[in-house]
Chains A and B, each alone.
Chain A
Amino acid sequence: MTNQLLNITEEASTVMIEDAINAFPNECCGFFYGTESEEERIVTIARPVLNSKEGDQRRRFEISPFDYMKAEQFALQNDLLLLGVYHSHPNHPSVASIHDLAKAMPYFSYVIISVMEGEFNTIQSWRLREDIREFREEEVCWKLANRSQESEFGGSATSSHSSPHRIHQ
């Protein structure tokens, strides 16, 4: 699949962003599920999981292998695709870090939610380019009941289409 658009329903956006706010000042994490076509990925369900990192959860997250196994089972049982993983960056921008890159798997969309001082800031999504082992930003559409952004790119609520930036190590 060569699509580069992640289209997140209001229901799933709300789950992810509320999880990020509720977990502050710690990082939250979870999985999301949906469908995929040549044009886009549509995220219909987001499900939080426990941040199982032992240590500073304000700067790190980890998902237990048990929760991962259950996530794959949930996708199979509900005839959905496990499309990716979301987590939050408390008091940091929603740009993927070298730690995110180090553990990145092929295929998954990595959604990152920036929360500044407890307030939702920005949301961006990243996908691993395996050939050069770098992240490429993908376009995200998301909605909240009281706030929506039809075409967010670059994480800014005011810019529409900016060229994707990449993470270099």
Chain B
Amino acid sequence: MAKIIIPTPLRKFTGGKSSFESNGTTVQAVVDNLVAENATLGQQILDNSGNIRSFIRVYVGDEDINELEGSETAVNDSSVISIVPAIAGGVN
């Protein structure tokens, strides 16, 4: 099972848990399995069509899946998947 690291701001949807082990051979399958067990977390990371939200990035190891094969990127039991929110701001 691949490991998924939940970003700190979303851990209130996981009862404080920082990571999960989840089945699947692609990023999408692993995320779908995670979300099936935790619908409120799913609302935070997936849009209404079930796609990963635009302000959320996903890494497998040190690689952005956008540089790999997107949500179809293959994963295995040693993969670490990170869910990453966008952080930005500025002055008025």
Contact = CB atoms under 8 A, between A and B. Distances in A.
Interface string B13-42: 000001100000000000000000000000
B88 A61 contact: yes
Interface of A: 27, 29, 53, 59-63, 65-66, 68-69, 72-73, 75-76, 81-82, 85, 87, 89-90, 92, 96-100, 102-108, 110
Nearest to A95: B92
B7 A61 contact: no
Nearest to B58: A65
A107 B90 contact: no
A103 B89 contact: yes
A103 B88 contact: yes
Secondary structure class of chain A's binding surface, majority of residues: mixed
B5 A63 contact: no
The 4 closest A-B pairs by CB, nearest first: A60-B90, A100-B89, A105-B9, A65-B57
Nearest to A69: B82
Interface residues of B, number: 24
Contact of A53 (B5, B8, B88): B88
Contacts of A87: 89
B89 A60 contact: yes
Given A61-B89, A97-B89, A103-B89, A68 B12 contact: no
Contacts of B10: 106
Contact of B90 (A100, A108, A110): A100
B87 A103 contact: yes
A72 B8 CA distance: 7
Given A106-B12, A107-B8, A107-B12, A72 B88 contact: no
Given A82-B8, A107-B8, A107-B9, A63 B62 contact: no
12 contacts: A63-B88, A65-B59, A66-B59, A68-B85, A69-B59, A69-B62, A72-B84, A76-B5, A85-B87, A97-B89, A103-B55, A107-B9
